[in-house]
Homo-oligomer: A and B are copies of this chain.
Amino acid sequence: MGRWQPDARGRLAQAAMELYTERGFEQTTVDEIAKRAGLTERTFFRHYADKREVLFGGASELQDLFADTLAGLPAGTSPMAAVGTTLEVVSAEFRERHAFAQQRHAVITANAELRERELVKLTSLASTAAEALRLRGVKEPGASLAAEVCIAVFKVAFESWTASPGHTELSVYVREALAEVKTVTAEA
**Chain A contacts to B: CB under 8 angstroms:** 78-81, 115-116, 119-120, 123, 141-142, 144-146, 148-149, 152-153, 155-157, 160, 176-177, 180-188
Contact = CB atoms under 8 A, between A and B. Distances in A.
A180 B130 CA distance: 14
A1 to B, nearest CB: 40
29 contacts: A78-B187, A79-B184, A79-B187, A80-B187, A80-B188, A81-B187, A116-B116, A116-B119, A119-B119, A119-B120, A141-B157, A141-B176, A141-B177, A141-B180, A142-B183, A144-B152, A145-B152, A145-B153, A145-B177, A145-B181, A145-B184, A146-B185, A148-B148, A148-B152, A148-B155, A149-B181, A149-B184, A185-B185, A185-B186
Contacts of A188: 78, 80-81
For the residues of A in contact with B, the DSSP-based class is helix
A180 B149 contact: no
Contact of A156 (B79, B141, B157, B186): B141
Nearest to A81: B188
Contacts of A79: 184, 187
A123 to B, nearest CB: 6
Nearest 5 CB-CB pairings of A with B? A148-B152, A78-B187, A185-B185, A119-B119, A145-B181
